[in-house]
Structure 1
């Protein structure tokens, strides 16, 4: 399938798909005409990329994780044990950022509640 079809099937823009290729996340074949040629497996790969981006991971980390993602009967699992600690650290970093944002919201709430109503 061509890039437009992959875009339609995944809901991801053509620009993003080209970016994923630049970041070494997608590896389409090239037709003689120069057009990119994708296969059905690329639909699943793009969906996984989207899920990992939504989880807050960088494309550099996703590049390391994608080859280790395997589908099991009870969901996705990592087949590379060395990534476990990295993912735990990433999760903990996100939790720290969430705590910082919550503290900022509380500080703003205190300022707002102490301000005269306009």
Structure 2
């Protein structure tokens, strides 16, 4: 009986240490880090393909490779993934991470949505 409990405790601890976490920070209708002319909103075209922007830091042993991940950088990457992009619509911002103590970890933001394109910038 003691071996079974020890085994279950070991499996539970290992599973907990190897698992990650994901937090959905917000859903949005329209978001941008660029200067967008709202008076021209009717001219912008929506791209039906969803895009994703990611900003990541890695944690090697216990030393991070950067200060912290940045949601704005992830947003910029998502918008810039399509030529002429000025904003994202109908999307979500998520923060994710996992860490295996003293070995490796990763911490990142994901921004996903559909790009609004200014036809004059293409």
Alignment TM-score > 0.5, same fold: no
Structure with the largest fraction of helix: 1
Higher strand fraction (1 or 2): 2
TM-score bracket relative to the smaller structure: under 0.3
Whose RCO is larger (CA < 8 A, sep 6+)? Answer: 2
- TM-score scaled by length of structure 2: 0.22
